[in-house]
Structure 1
């Protein structure tokens, strides 16, 4: 099926779903559910992803009649699931945001990033040769996961989408409502936080 035919077919499915055709709505769910779960998992983690997507489908069903086809249905649905996931991430957070912690090393200052979101001052070098070698240590892996949960929700979402899901900065910007430049800064800050945690772990053996 060509892209044009697929788009026309999907418009017909949306129209049918709006008019109460449960089979049409089920077809829309089948087409987009997997990518929605992937985006939700990138933001809140796999354990909460399905719940978030179920909530997103409820929201989408309620708003479907207002969908104006200004973007693709896929983009519209991913925006909904991103908003649901960010809301859940904020609600689930039980820790003090790292944004409120003092930056003892001075690496998180905005002066360390240029206007393109790249390093102006590079972070410390990792002691081990590759990240893969680091992740072989189970305790360190748990420490990294714990640190990710401490990141502010939007920063964590950008990091997961970019570094774990290989999502483009333009798409991240569209999904999360942040500029591409700000997304670059957020992912660099998340990487730096993890590097500092890894450095500390290597020196002390503790998270």
Structure 2
């Protein structure tokens, strides 16, 4: 089964690469096919980062316009999908940095990670996506994610919500793998504390 899946992934990457080459040679139909293959992922990424359907649609449009204009510069050092993620995330980060509202500062996040183990916090026993599916926790989880500094929010969503490997997140955000790990860890600690506050206030036992 694993071998068949790997063959399927390879075929998908080869098909994507072939479409990219055709698009670079002026085949607009090939680029349209690339959009059809990837637009769902790009829209969902924008929606998770910005929490607004209109903004997500704008990000998706801006991403494909930029990708089309810069297609000759795409060297194939990463997959086309990874390249699109990088473009979309950069556009989203620019919008996120302009957002108003209270967010935890990066210094506060660092301080939190240094002493978090001195307090009782809920175990990350469920995946973040599982928490998001539970109605009573969804709003708390989404607000906590939205309150993260933009670069931490981007890493957390790419790693823990989208499930993208560390090396690929590193490529998308142009940061080191160790930075991806550090930001993911600090984001998880912060979100775990927010969930602990909910469990404590609602009388749930903290594991």
Identify whether the pair has TM-score above 0.5, normalized to the shorter chain: yes
* Partner residue of 1:108 out of 97, 113, 119: 113
Aligned positions of 1:63-82 closer than 5 A:
63-82=70-89
Equivalent position of 1:147 in the other structure = 144
Aligned positions of 1:136-175 closer than 5 A:
136=134, 138=136, 140-175=137-172
How far does residue 191 in structure 1 lie from its aligned partner after superposition? 1.2
Q: Over aligned residue pairs, what C-alpha RMSD do you find?
A: 3.4
How far does residue 54 in structure 1 lie from its aligned partner after superposition? 0.6
The separation in 2 between residues aligned to 1:82 and 1:69, in whole angstroms, is: 19
Structure 2 length as normaliser, TM-score? 0.73
Measured against aligned partners, the alpha-carbon deviations of 1:22-70 in whole angstroms (never above 9, x if no partner) come to: 4343223223323323433443346332221111111122222333444
Equivalent position of 1:39 in the other structure = 45
Aligned positions of 1:156-195 closer than 5 A:
156-195=153-192
How far does residue 146 in structure 1 lie from its aligned partner after superposition? 1.1
SS at match of 1:98: coil
How far does residue 136 in structure 1 lie from its aligned partner after superposition? 4.2
How far does residue 172 in structure 1 lie from its aligned partner after superposition? 0.8
Bigger proportion of residues as helix: 2
CA 1:137 to 1:74, structure 2 compared with 1: closer, same or farther past 3 Å? closer
The separation in 1 between residues aligned to 2:74 and 2:131, in whole angstroms, is: 47
The separation in 2 between residues aligned to 1:61 and 1:25, in whole angstroms, is: 8
* 1:124 partnered with 2:129: no
How far does residue 127 in structure 1 lie from its aligned partner after superposition? 7.6
Equivalent position of 2:195 in the other structure = 198
**Number of matched residues?**
189
Q: Which has the larger radius of gyration?
A: 1
